[in-house]
Structure 1
Amino acid sequence: MQYKTTVLIANGIMNAGGTETLVMEILRHQTGRIRYILMVHYQGEIQRGIFDDEIRSLGVEIVYIPSVGSLGINEYCRKFKCMVDKIGKIDIIHSHLNANSGIICKAAKMAGIPYRISHCHADIRFRGNRANNLKEEVKLQVLRIFVNKYSNHYWACSHEAWKRLFYFWKKEVVVPNMIDVQKYLSTSKHKQEVKATIGMKGKFVVGSVGRVARIKNYELILKAIAILNKQGCETHFVCYGRFDAQKDAYCKELQQLSDSLGITDKVHFKGNTINVTHDIKAFDVFLMPSITEGFGMAAIEAQAAGIPTLLSIGIPRIVDVGLGLVKFMPFDPKGWANEILKIQACSTVQDVFHEDIIVAFDKRGYNSASMVRVIEDKYLEMIH
């Protein structure tokens, strides 16, 4: 059998998220030129992700390793070497774990992997008190040393994410996040059908997709929803993304805020979904009020579905694919409420032509049908 270039993809648990979407698109559209192995990091006991079964069905082996944080650097490097010895020759490691990629690339170098990609998916920022932010910033700068010392290829989902993690003299490679556009294409009829399947039949739905975390700034949406409902504009907020209502302090804060605003019955945190290509079609308006994002994968998913999209000024402008669907907004709940009201009141909103969507995504490199070959070309160029 002819040897194939082997790429070890390093990530966390494979649940729904922007990074995971990119990884899944690479695996779904692989051309057969590369042998992929997925290395999943976990804490405590091995945790299965919602995509694991599909990954295996695509012919991709999954190996599991405890996270750096749970082992420490030296023990992690030892376990990593043992794992590589069992797998056999690996040509490239492609780590998607942001600042932690430096430790992973250190272990990879010690294990003899010659080509080491650190891939940054976030414009890494901290939101907390000044002392905590300082502590996290110092930690980041230490991890940057590892990233820039032990990686030899430096990729990011946007320029903003790239410059936050890598030193300016390194070679910048921007690999935009991508989706299978055909799966998102929708019509008004589809919207009504999907609303019915998620229990929102006849409702005006604003929505978001992303883990429930403080950086996502979901409290802004809740305040905007409260304003709209107080004005007599019945509006429901539906959010898909992982959360732990029992353990996570931010989840509890959002629950308390919903209660205090009197909108508990209008707020629906649905958790993870493997059917985002279907479920997002129920949204009348897509919202992303994040403090910052490295890219904002869900924003391009919304545009692929032809959904009017409101984004915070913390989102990179490159996510606007040029279909006239996007508006960038300051962090003001009243402004968001007013803009949502305008969209709801606009009876002239038309379905975006599917052909226009496909052309726009192809032009910007956001369509996985064409971009996975480009990524694999980059892999093969490294070793030749």
Structure 2
Amino acid sequence: MKHILVYGMTDNFGGMEAYIYNVYQHLDRTQIQFDFVCDFPQMTLSDYYLENGCKIHFIPPKSQSLLKSLWSMWKVIKENNYDVIYFNIMNAGYVLNMIPAFLLGKKIVAHSHNADTDKKFLHYRLRGFLNFIAKMKLACTKAAADFMFGKIENCILIKNGIDLDKYQYSFGMYKSIRNRLGWNLDSKFVLYVARMDNQKNPFFALNIAKKINQLDPSVHFIYVGDGPMRNEVFNYIAENNVNNIHLLGIRHDVNELMIASDALILPSLFEGLGIVAIEAQAAALPVFLSDTIPLDAKILDTTEFLPIEKSENVDLWASKVVNTVNNNMPRKSDKVILAKAGYDIKAVAKQLQSILLN
């Protein structure tokens, strides 16, 4: 069995962490095992990974001391004799973390999960260095590949696969989950699953929630997530009188929340893909995405892209959402379409495992 060192996990369960978790559950662990190196004080789902035989190595963050961080990474790789390091990255600045692996002559696999960044200066300064160091390049979409590596030909697309069975919608499940959650069967629920940080455009989303409440006070807004902007989000809700909003924090039953909801919004400033959009479509949920998200995120006709550049766009989002949830359109999950589009986690895990082992 080969141990692969994985970098990219944080202390917050977001899209990248969900992707790694989904893949890990479907690896052939007679052949491959993930270990992790993390530069956060804690790592999400650490208990689960430890129970399944993974090692977790904690190193200092680069912000604390670049030299200490890189030296710690060097020791982890050297002392445990890892041959392959799988870097899940959001911008080219992550290439600094790859230097110890490069100097030790290890196989570096760089997987792009983003199609833009707030750190543009750093990203474009280091992109050439990233292309030089990382011989194996992966991306979740063509947009994420072009952003991270430039327009190159030798980048392999790895879809953000999910367990399609977990998202199968039925009216019976819809009623059962709502009953357990205490959600009224006659009420409408709009879902927003996003880390609380600038990329996810939380204040725009909260303005949509406020406008929805003005248009139809019976519609509930469900906010799932946590993150560095938690205090700002809570203050914004209080100061702007955003009503009928439910803050659920980090949840590990998002598949059930999607089955039980009536629409999902994701007005992000940018995404590599937006895995929650794929999950929502697997649950046959109407989805509204910002037009800055890659077109790959649309699998079904019930998904629509909307603008976010102007404040008045909030009214458009709110009216579209309210009209949709009150239309009571029939829902039906279609595993075949999602699988043909490449989002079956079993096929994705098999593809990635082959890349990491060869």
Task: Name the TM-score, length of structure 2 as normaliser.
Answer: 0.90
In structure 1, distance between residues paired with 2:238 and 2:11: 32
Structure 1 residue aligned with 2:210, among 208, 211, 226? 226
Please list, as runs of the form range in 1=range in 2, the aligned pairs for 1:297-312 lying within 5 A after superposition.
297-312=275-290
Q: Deviations over 1:193-225 (max 9, x none)?
A: 323433433431101112011221232332233
Aligned to 2:234: 255
Note if contact 1:37-1:63 (Cα within 8 Å) is conserved in structure 2.
no
Q: 1:228 to 1:84 in 2, by over 3 A?
A: closer
CA distance, structure 2, for counterparts of residue 170 and residue 68 of structure 1: 31
SS at match of 1:38: strand
1:69 is matched with: 63
Instruction: Report the alpha carbon displacement of residue 92 of structure 1 after superposing the two structures with TM.
Output: 1.4
Instruction: Pick one of 25, 49, 52 that aligns with 1:55.
Output: 49
Aligned AA (1:333):
V
Q: 1:96 to 1:123 in 2, by over 3 A?
A: same
Within the candidate set 328, 335, 338, 1:361 is matched to: 338
1:95 maps to 87
**SS of residue matched to 2:121:** helix
Offset, 1:162: 1.2
Contact 2:36 2:54 in 1 (8 A): no
Q: Distance in 2 between matches of 1:120 and 1:211?
A: 18
Using the alignment, how far apart are the partners of 1:149 and 1:256 within structure 2? 44
- 2:352 maps to a residue whose letter is I
Within a 5 Å distance, the mapping from 1:102-117 to structure 2 comes to 102-113=95-106, 115-117=107-109
* Cα distance per residue 1:216-240 (max 9 Å; x no partner): 1232332233223223442211121
Counterpart of 2:117 in structure 1 is 125
2:129 pairs with 1:146: yes
Amino acid at match of 1:118: A
Q: Kindly state the Cα deviation for residue 364 of structure 1 after the two structures are TM-superposed.
A: 1.4
Q: CA deviation at 1:13?
A: 2.2
Looking at structure 2, the residues matched to 42 and 197 of structure 1 have their Cα atoms a distance apart, in angstroms, of: 37
Amino acid of the structure 2 residue aligned with 1:138? F
Distance (Å, rounded) in 2 between the aligned partners of 1:68 and 1:308? 40
Partner of 2:78: 85
What SS does structure 2 have at the residue aligned with 1:321? coil
In structure 2, distance between residues paired with 1:377 and 1:25: 16
What is the one-letter code of the residue matched to 2:315? K
TM-score, structure 1 normalization: 0.85
1:192 paired residue number: 175
Per-residue displacement from partner, 1:40-97 (whole Å, max 9, x unpaired)? 3234xx3142x1122223332222222233221x333322222123212x22111013
- 2:248 aligns with 270
TM superposition shift of 1:36 = 2.4
Q: Which ranges of structure 1 fall in alignment gaps of 5 or more residues?
A: 127-135
Please state how far the C-alpha of 1:260 moved relative to its aligned partner.
4.5
Inter-partner Cα distance in structure 2 for 1:149 and 1:321: 34
* Cα deviation digits, residues 153-176 of structure 1 (max 9, x gap): 111111111111214346122111
Could you say which residue in structure 2 is the equivalent of 1:24? 21
Counterparts of residues 142-181 of structure 1 (less than 5 Å) = 142-169=125-152, 171-181=154-164
Which sections of structure 2, spanning at least 5 residues, go unmatched?
Answer: none
Secondary structure of 1:336's partner? helix
Match of 2:238, SS state, is helix
Match of 1:110, as an amino acid? L
Say if 1:33 and 1:124 are closer, same or farther in 2 by CA, change over 3 A.
Answer: farther
Whether the 8 Å contact between 1:39 and 1:65 is mirrored in structure 2 is no
Report if the CA contact (8 A) 1:9-1:36 is conserved: no
More deviation, 160-169/206-215? 160-169
1:256 offset after TM fit, Å? 4.1
Which amino acid in 1 is paired with 2:318? A
Tell me by how many angstroms 1:318 deviates. Answer: 0.8
**Which residue identity lines up with residue 185 of structure 1 in the other structure?**
Q
Segment of structure 1 superposing worse, 16-25 or 145-154:
145-154
Shift of 1:9: 1.0
| Residue of structure 2 in register with 1:129 after alignment | none
* Alignment RMSD (CA, Å): 2.1
- Percent identity over the alignment? 22
Is the CA contact 2:93–2:123 (under 8 Å) kept in the aligned structure 1?
Answer: no
Cα deviation, residue 137, structure 1: 2.2
* 2:233 matches 1:240: no
